[in-house]
Structure formats: structure tokens, C-alpha cells
């Protein structure tokens, strides 16, 4: 019997390609994993009436650990995001995204080593929305007038931004615990409390309270989100662990990925007290899906995070060393990286790059 059983959700778009590559690399790393494949994605709508069948959620609950490819969410209309639904169903309240420069990946900086800790359960991603012109939207608009809270145009759609003390304290505590466990020196909380006093203001107060109650010498710092973006682009090396409410954390993740070489190399995890689901930062990349062009590095590095979580530290490190070696060598890199590095050498396919990773694991022993 394998040492660990993991639920594998290939997803759609480039997901089946990047997860197949990931699976081959994990198998080459020496980790003993049994994969239980479960489906999610738009292609299930016709048969199941939902992009996230209950059996998929059950499979993750059974194995406690899952790794998934991206799933397409139609913009503006259609079903709600599968990713958001899964995070909700499993109470995965932490979104953890390490951002690390990989020499050779064409990043703007080669000294970035920060960790994004994003609140994953509330804020504008709570999914509480009212369509413009609906009875509920009209009621809310009337209530705002009545309370003297402000005038809202009658043809407005409304998204609710709930931010609670409990969830804010929980995520900031996680950021400090993570910093302590991984020998990091500083936690920065990012907010827009000057404008949104009752939501971001509450988040900031919770962060300050948690920071004040901590011992252990980890420094606490705070930034307003727009200034943070400028600071990130100008000097990302100043940040260590950075904790965000949901929306800013999502945006900052892509910003940070862009600084170190792009979405193709940015891994992540969704973590709760009981379950963990590992996935890249990027989406389903419909523009390159099915063409064997996707960069599987982000998915592969997400698997390394998963192996850390499972206690398979050596296999995880083997994968990370192989990634660094293939990028440092620079002979076999996918099109996104070729573009980022401005190199006109022929781009490797997803499969060729994966072969190079597996070969590197073999020679690094």
C-alpha cells in the first residue's frame, strides 16, 4: 500500500496537462503516493448539473489532502467559482503562496523570498451578491438611504464585503505561526483601512491586536494596499510574510508572480484545520489549453508544498532542486519563460520540460 493517498483533481483548460506532468515528477521524486482522481469543471455541468460534484468534495474529505489543476469560471454569468466553493465546503481559510525568485526564470528581481498569506473565506469573495434591479438590491438600497449610510444609484448591482474579527484574527495568527515555524522575521498586514473603516479597519485592528499579544520577536508592519503595490514593484525584497484580506491577497499574488517570472512558476495551497488543497496561482489558461505549451512548474512546486505537508521532505527538496537546476541550465524552458527572458531559443513543450525535470531528479542524486 502506498504511504499516502491524495485526491487528484485535474480540472480543465491546461489543468489536465499540468497535473499529468506533476504526477510524473512526484513519481520520479521517490514519494510513494496513491492518486485518487476526482473531477471538477465546466465539462461536468451537462451530466451532474454542477461543476463540483458532491463526490469530489467527499473524496477530498476522505483523503484530507488534494492537489488540483485550475478550473474555468465563466466571467460575469454562469456558475459560481468551483475554487471558491471548494474552499468554503472544506473551510480552507488560508491561502498560502510562497513567492521565490528562480534564477533563469526571467523575473524582474532575483532576490524575492516572501510568503503571501491570504484570508480565504470572506471579504468580497463570500459570494453574497445582488443583481442590479432585483428586489433584494432595491431593498438594500432603500435601507442604506434610511440609515443615512449614503445614496446608491437605483440601477446598481451590489456585492457585500463581510470581514469579521474571528476570521481576521485567525488568518493573522496563522501568518505569525508560519513566520515562527519557518524562521521568518516580519509579518506585514495589508489593508485599506483609511477608506473602509468597518471592514479593512476591523482587519487592521485584529492584526494589531494579534501582533501585540505575540511574543517571540517577529516584527509587525502594516501597509495601505496601493502603497504596498508600489513598494512591491520597487523593492519586493523588503517583504517577508505578508497577510491580506481575500481580494487584495488575490491581486497581490499575481503581482508578485509577475515580478519573479510569471504565473507559470507560482505555487500555492489552500489550508484549513482539517484539509489541504494544493494548487497553482494561475487559472485554466484557455488561450494555450490542449497545445502542450503550459508551464507545469507552478503545479509541480505546489506538489512540493504538498509533499512538505505530508512529511515527505526529501522528495519535496529533490523536486525543488531539479526545478532550480533546469532553470539555471536554461536549455529546456517553456514559452512563457522564453518570453519573460527575451530569449529567442525554441520553447520546450510541457512534456519536454517535464522530461528535463525528471532527468534532473535522476542526476541530482
CB-nearer residue toward ligand NAI: 19 or 199: 19
CA 54, 55, 60: angle at the middle one, nearest 5? 100
Residues 361 and 25 sit within 8 Å (Cβ to Cβ):
yes
Site for ligand NAI in 294-323 (CB under 6 A): 294-295, 298
Site for ligand NAI in 322-351 (CB under 6 A): 336
CB-nearer residue toward ligand NAI: 72 or 246: 72
Helix 225-234 × helix 246-260 angle, to 10°: 10
Annotation marks residue 93 as catalytic: no
Task: Name the minimum Å distance from CB 81 to Mg ion.
Answer: 10
CB-nearer residue toward ligand NAI: 236 or 262: 262
CB-nearer residue toward ligand NAI: 72 or 168: 72
Q: Which stretch binds ligand NAI (CB under 6 A): 69-77, 122-130, 178-186, 210-218?
A: 69-77
**Residue with the shortest CB distance to Mg ion:** 250
Sequence-distant (6+) residues with CB within 8 A of 313 are 307
Which of 19, 29, 56, 73 is in the footprint of ligand NAI by CB under 6 A? 73
Question: Would you list the DSSP string of 132-199?
Answer: TT-HHHHHHHHHHHHTTS----TT--EE-----HHHHHHHHHHHHHHHHHTT--EEEEEE-TTT-TTT
Residues 115 and 242 sit within 8 Å (Cβ to Cβ):
yes
Annotation marks residue 123 as catalytic: no
Task: Name the minimum Å distance from CB 251 to Mg ion.
Answer: 8
Look at residue 29 and give the partner it binds from ligand NAI, Mg ion, none, a contact being a CB closer than 5 to 8 Å depending on partner kind.
none
Annotation marks residue 197 as catalytic: no
Residues 69 and 347 sit within 8 Å (Cβ to Cβ):
no
CB-nearer residue toward ligand NAI: 187 or 301: 301
Task: Name the minimum Å distance from CB 126 to Mg ion.
Answer: 16
Instruction: Report residue 311 as a C-alpha cell.
Output: 512529511
**Length of the chain in terms of residues written:** 365
State the virtual CA torsion across 175, 60, 165, 143 in degrees, nearest 10. Answer: 140
Task: Name the minimum Å distance from CB 184 to ligand NAI.
Answer: 25
Residue 287 binding ligand NAI, by CB under 6 A: yes
CA 307, 313, 317: angle at the middle one, nearest 5? 95
Q: Which stretch binds ligand NAI (CB under 6 A): 52-60, 172-180, 226-234, 286-294?
A: 286-294
Q: Return residues touching Mg ion (CB under 5 A).
A: 250
CB-nearer residue toward ligand NAI: 224 or 289: 289
Annotation marks residue 226 as catalytic: yes
Task: Name the minimum Å distance from CB 319 to Mg ion.
Answer: 23
Residues 330-349 as b or e (16 or more Cβ within 10 Å = b): bebbbbbbbebbeeeeebbb
Q: Cα Rg for the chain, rounded, in angstroms? A: 21
* 8-state DSSP, 260: H
Classified as helix, coil or strand, 43 is helix
Residue 106 binding ligand NAI, by CB under 6 A: no
Residue 263 binding ligand NAI, by CB under 6 A: yes
Binding site for ligand NAI (CB under 6 A): 14, 18, 70-73, 83, 263-264, 279, 282-288, 294-295, 298, 336
Catalytic positions: 125, 192, 226, 250
Amino acid at each position: 500500500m502506498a504511504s499516502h493517498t491524495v485526491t487528484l483533481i485535474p480540472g480543465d483548460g491546461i489543468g489536465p496537462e499540468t497535473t499529468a506532468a506533476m504526477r510524473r515528477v512526484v513519481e520520479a521524486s521517490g514519494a510513494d503516493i496513491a492518486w485518487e482522481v476526482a473531477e471538477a469543471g465546466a465539462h461536468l455541468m451537462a451530466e451532474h448539473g454542477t461543476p463540483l460534484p458532491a463526490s469530489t468534495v467527499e473524496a477530498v474529505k476522505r483523503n484530507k489532502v488534494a492537489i488540483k489543476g485550475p478550473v474555468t469560471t465563466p466571467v460575469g454569468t454562469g456558475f459560481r467559482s468551483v475554487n471558491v466553493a471548494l474552499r468554503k465546503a472544506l473551510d480552507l481559510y488560508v491561502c498560502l503562496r510562497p513567492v521565490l525568485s528562480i534564477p533563469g526564470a526571467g523575473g524582474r528581481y532575483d532576490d524575492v523570498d516572501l510568503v503571501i498569506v491570504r484570508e480565504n473565506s470572506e471579504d468580497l469573495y463570500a459570494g453574497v451578491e445582488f443583481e442590479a434591479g432585483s428586489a433584494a438590491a432595491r431593498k438594500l438600497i432603500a435601507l442604506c438611504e434610511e440609515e443615512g449610510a449614503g445614496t446608491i444609484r437605483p440601477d446598481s448591482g451590489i456585492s457585500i464585503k463581510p470581514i469579521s474579527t474571528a476570521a481576521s484574527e485567525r488568518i493573522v495568527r496563522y501568518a505569525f505561526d508560519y513566520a515562527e515555524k519557518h524562521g521568518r522575521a516580519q509579518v506585514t498586514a495589508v489593508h485599506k483601512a483609511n477608506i473602509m473603516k468597518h471592514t479593512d479597519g476591523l482587519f487592521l485592528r485584529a492584526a494589531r491586536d494579534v501582533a501585540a499579544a505575540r511574543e517571540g520577536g517577529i516584527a509587525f508592519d502594516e501597509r495601505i494596499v496601493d502603497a504596498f503595490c508600489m513598494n512591491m514593484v520597487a523593492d519586493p525584497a523588503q517583504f517577508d510574510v505578508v497577510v491580506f484580506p481575500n481580494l487584495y491577497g488575490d491581486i497581490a499574488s499575481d503581482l508578485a508572480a509577475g515580478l519573479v517570472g510569471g504565473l507559470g512558476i507560482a505555487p500555492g495551497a489552500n489550508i484549513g484545520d482539517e484539509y489541504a488543497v494544493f494548487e497553482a496561482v494561475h487559472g485554466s489558461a484557455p488561450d494555450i489549453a490542449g497545445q502542450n505549451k503550459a508551464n507545469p512548474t507552478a503545479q509541480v512546486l505546489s506538489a512540493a508544498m504538498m509533499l512538505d505537508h505530508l512529511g515527505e521532505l526529501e522528495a519535496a527538496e529533490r523536486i525543488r532542486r531539479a526545478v532550480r537546476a533546469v532553470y539555471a541550465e536554461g536549455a529546456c524552458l517553456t514559452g512563457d519563460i522564453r518570453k519573460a527572458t527575451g530569449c529567442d531559443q525554441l520553447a520546450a513543450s510541457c512534456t519536454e520540460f517535464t522530461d528535463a525535470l525528471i532527468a534532473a531528479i535522476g542526476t541530482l542524486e
